[in-house]
Chain A
Amino acid sequence: QSVLTQPPSVSAAPGQKVIISCSGSSSNIGNNYVSWYQQFPGTAPKLLIYDNDKRPSGVPDRFSGSKSGTSATLDITGLQTGDEADYYCGSWDASLKGVFGGGTKVTVL
């Protein structure tokens, strides 16, 4: 049972937009930053978004993150077949121990 709550899956047609939610509490997201990770099958996760809404160098601006209160969202616009992957949100608790969501599988229809 993951500490943060994500939908198991989302899907959309190529070119469309998907929104992945990540719900937490005041003990984690409410008082800490959120990051997002992209994982393709058989590979290690990769940092996609950090500090709620910042993109590392090389991440397309089709990916954007936001946070409000105890929830965060990852938006993927202009969906591409290459975006099919699992996406995880991560944050920290009051003792600065890491917490993750259960992951969301993105399917391009």
Chain B
Amino acid sequence: QIILKESSPTLVKPTQTLTLTCTVSGFSLTTSGAGVGWIRQPPGKALEWLALIYWNDGLRYTPSLKSRLTIAKDTSKNQVVLTMTNMDPEDTATYYCVHVAAVGSRRYFDSWGQGTLVTVSS
């Protein structure tokens, strides 16, 4: 059973850097075809895909936020970390960690963490 659990501060100040950690179990971050990504959802709004890291260290970022995002994995800790710089109140959202099943051109988010609400406010 794949389990993903997010951890992060609940409150960050504008201009600060946010660090989100996803601790995974039930699969290996080096298993061929495995990926872990981040998706966020502002209160009352739609899902927004942010970033993804694959088993082979392939990276993908959403174009609109690419300059502010860095995703990395620590296989020894079974963790994926996303950092987002220069936080703004508009970044207030629930951030979800997701497992991506990828086989060739087929890929989808088959497991989701419970989400962590991050509020940006001074």
Residues of A within 8 A of B (CB): 2, 32-33, 35, 37, 44-47, 50-51, 56, 88, 90, 92, 95-103
B interface, by DSSP: helix, strand, loop or mixed? strand
Taking the closest CB of chain A, its distance from the CB of B47, in whole angstroms, is 5
CB proximity of A19 to chain B, nearest CB, Å: 19
Listed in ascending order, the chain B residues whose CB lies under 8 Å from chain A are: 37, 39, 46-49, 52, 60-63, 96, 101, 105-115
Asked if B47 and A103 make an inter-chain contact with CB atoms under 8 angstroms apart, the answer reads yes
**Contact between chains at B63 and A97 (CB < 8 Å):** yes
Q: With A44-B115, A98-B52, A100-B49 in contact, do A32 and B105 touch (Cβ < 8 Å)?
A: yes
Q: With the chains together, A103 CA to B49 CA distance in Å?
A: 13
A88, B46: Cβ atoms closer than 8 Å: yes
**Complex: how many Å from CA A32 to CA B49?**
16
